[in-house]
Amino acid sequence: EKADRVGGLLRYGIPDFKLEKRVLDRRIEQMKAEGVCFETRAHVGVNIPAQDLRKEFDAILLAGGAENPRDLRVPGRELKGIYFAMQFLPQQNKRNAGDTVPDPILATGKRVVIIGGGDTGADCLGTCHRQRPKSVHQFEIMPMPPEQRAPNTPWPLWPLQLRTESSHEEGGIRDWAVGTTKFTGDENGNVKQLH
C-alpha cells in the first residue's frame, strides 16, 4: 500500500459517512489473521522495485486505483481555490482519523461549486455539508436524466435515470446541463467567479 494506511480508495476516497472505516479495519484485521502481510508507504515502482516483490513472494496481487483526475482545461484553471476531488476527500478522512493535515482544503464558510456528478460529486457534496459552507452548488454537464428508467436503456443495460444520493437530500443546489467556459480571479490569484 503506497499510502500511510491500508485501504486505498476505500480508506481515503470514500467519506466516512458512506463507509465507516471500522468496517474496513475489521476486514483488514481478518486478512492479517489469515496471513496476509501489509506494508504501507510502499509505492511499487517508486520506492519498491517490482523485481524485489517477485523474488520475495509466491503471489502478487495488483490492486490499482484510478487516481488520475479528469482536468477541466479552461482559462483560469490555475487559480487558487480550485481542487480535484481526490485532493479534497482524503484530507477529511485523514482529519477524521485524527491526523493533522497541512494546508487544509476546507469548505467552511465558503461558496462552493462542485463540477461533476456521480458518486464522487455526491461524496464531495456530503463532505462539504459536514464542513458547513456558506452555500454549495453541484453542476452536472449532462441534462437532467428522467426520474424513471429511460426506455432507451432497458434491462440489462445500466439504467439512465436520476440518482439522488443521501448527500443531495442533505441540501445544496443541483444544476444540470452546465458547461464551465472559464474561471476569473481576484488580484491575489484566487478564484472569484465561474463562467
pLDDT given for residue 168 in this prediction: 95
Give the pLDDT score at 124.
Answer: 97
Whole-number pLDDT of residue 59:
83
First vs last Cα of the chain: how many Å apart? 40
pTM, two decimal places = 0.89
Q: Please give the pLDDT value at position 58.
A: 85
Q: What is the pLDDT along the chain (195 residues), one digit of tens a residue?
A: 889 999 989 999 999 999 999 999 999 999 999 998 888 998 888 999 989 988 988 888 777 777 788 899 999 999 999 999 999 999 999 999 999 999 999 999 999 999 999 999 999 999 999 999 999 999 999 999 999 999 999 999 989 999 999 999 999 999 999 999 999 999 999 999 999
Residue with cell string 464531495:
124
